[in-house]
Amino acid sequence: MTATAVEIQQFSVRFGEFQALQEVNLSVPQGAFVAIVGPNGAGKSTLLKALLGLERGALRDGPTQVSGTVRVLGLPPRQVPPGWVGYVPQVKGFDRSFPALALEVVVSGLRRRWPFIITAQERKKAEAMLDKVGALALANRRLGRLSGGELQRVYLARSLIREPRLLLLDEPATGVDAVGEADLYRHLEAYQRETGATILMITHDWEAAQHHASAVLVLNRRVVGYGPPERVLCHECLSQAFGHVGHGHGLVLKGD
């Protein structure tokens, strides 16, 4: 197993006339917790999808041009074995009005398809993972009855049930209250301590990036800055990426 979790070299993605990513270079060591920040349209979600092997013709309708190389755990993304990478999208794939139980959602991550019948072994493993993220009491509750924070924990359990080596999170704290957000980061950090997994997380919360990440990637189609939070979350980098630094959630910026 390679000592580098993610290696990206001169990676560019263009959708028709729109340049989503331009000549991105990034090397993420195993065990890192990287927060990805940048304005809307900066290519953050496109970058995560590229790590999932979805960059060619599957990101948007219309012609897609891709160049450069991407390696995930030493392999091209589409050659990474199932279960090595966990993903929590920003927009959840299940309709909350669908009569599904939280336990079924978690087991679907184990099977990679919908579980119409759950075995005793699958139930035991799913309940153990729900327990690990503080959501065992939600196992037999329908999705429509879950709060934002509860739903996020269920999806986190779903992404972790195969014990991935790399976890990709697209704004995981969206719609979650302060207590739920604190729980989310506590569970992520506990999982990382137990497994040595690598985490890449898109966030608009600079303060969360400062306090929870070992490194921050500031992205606006190209890499604006990458390194320790105390060096990268500075006025110069954030101004270059956002054009202003007026919504830093109380973050005291270096250089201000």
Q: HSE on the CB side for 9, CA within 13 Å?
A: 4
Lookup: tokens for 64: 């897609």
* 153 three-class SS: helix
Give the number of other Cβ atoms within 10 Å of residue 178's Cβ.
9
Nearest to 182 by CA among 134, 214, 217: 134
Q: Where are the chain's structural domains?
A: 1-83+164-255, 91-162
Q: What is the pLDDT along the chain (256 residues), one digit of tens a residue?
A: 459 999 999 999 998 888 999 999 999 999 999 999 999 999 999 999 999 987 554 445 556 889 999 999 999 999 999 889 999 887 555 666 778 899 999 999 888 778 888 999 999 999 999 998 888 999 999 988 888 778 888 989 999 999 999 999 998 887 777 887 888 888 899 999 999 999 999 999 989 999 999 999 999 999 999 999 999 999 899 999 998 665 544 454 544 3
User: Which residues, 6 or more positions from 254, have their beta carbon under 8 angstroms from its beta carbon?
Assistant: 230, 231, 233, 234, 235
For domain 1-83+164-255, the CATH architecture is: 3-Layer(aba) Sandwich (3.40)
* 256 three-class SS: coil
- Whether 54 contacts 28, CB under 8 Å: no
C-alpha–C-alpha distance, residues 198 and 5, integer Å? 7
Which strand ranges, in their side-by-side order, compose the sheet holding 18-29?
18-29, 4-15, 64-72
Give the number of other Cβ atoms within 10 Å of residue 213's Cβ.
23
Q: HSE on the CB side for 40, CA within 13 Å?
A: 0
Q: What is the pLDDT of residue 128?
A: 93
C-alpha–C-alpha distance, residues 56 and 132, integer Å? 35
**Element at 185 (helix H, strand E):** helix 178-195
* 230 three-class SS: helix
Beta bridge partners of 202: 36, 170
Nearest to 159 by CA among 193, 191, 116, 122: 191
* 109 three-class SS: helix
Return the amino acid letter for 152: Q
Nearest to 161 by CA among 93, 87, 100, 110: 110
Q: What is the pTM of this model?
A: 0.85
